[in-house]
Structure 1
Amino acid sequence: MQEIIRTNDVVTLSVAESLMRDAGIHCMIADQSMSVLEGSLGLLQRRFLVEDDRADEARRILKDAGLEAELKS
């Protein structure tokens, strides 16, 4: 799995997850449970991961959807 987004914005993560599901690209959001440890302060960012062999396609889909600024270099 390759990390392509790191953010606290749950809306961005939800949109990205939906786009990947529609494209048939397996993805996961890591560190969602960390809010229990941090006390829901939003300090720890969540990582959006996609399949290694489809990461370029996932990036292209997110760029086309206007989420280019969210992509991790």
Structure 2
Amino acid sequence: MRELVRTNDMVLVSAITALLDSANIHHLVLDQNMSVIEGSLGILPRRILVHEDDNRAARELLVDAGFAHELRADE
């Protein structure tokens, strides 16, 4: 799995997951249940991950949608 985005912005998480869903790119959003533990303060960022095989397509999709500035470094 490769990390695409790490953010505290739940609207951004929702927008990106909707884009990935529409492109049929399987993804995981990690740490979203941590908000219950942290008290919903938004301190812990959520991470959006895609399978290694979908990494390039997902990154291109997000760049085309104007989210290039949100992408994590592709290591």
Q: One fold, TM greater than 0.5?
A: yes
- TM-score, normalised relative to structure 1: 0.94
In structure 2, the gaps of 5 or more residues are none
C-alpha RMSD of the superposition: 0.8
The structure 1 segments of at least 4 consecutive aligned residues displaced by more than 4 Å after TM superposition are none
Q: 1:21 — aligned with what?
A: 21
Count of residue pairs brought into register by the alignment = 73
In structure 1, the gaps of 5 or more residues are none
CA distance in 1, matches of 2:43, 2:10: 13
CA distance in 2, matches of 1:51, 1:21: 14
The percentage of aligned residue pairs carrying the same residue is 49
Q: Kindly state the Cα deviation for residue 41 of structure 1 after the two structures are TM-superposed.
A: 1.0
Q: 2:65 — aligned with what?
A: 65
Q: Kindly state the Cα deviation for residue 40 of structure 1 after the two structures are TM-superposed.
A: 1.0
Q: 2:32 — aligned with what?
A: 32
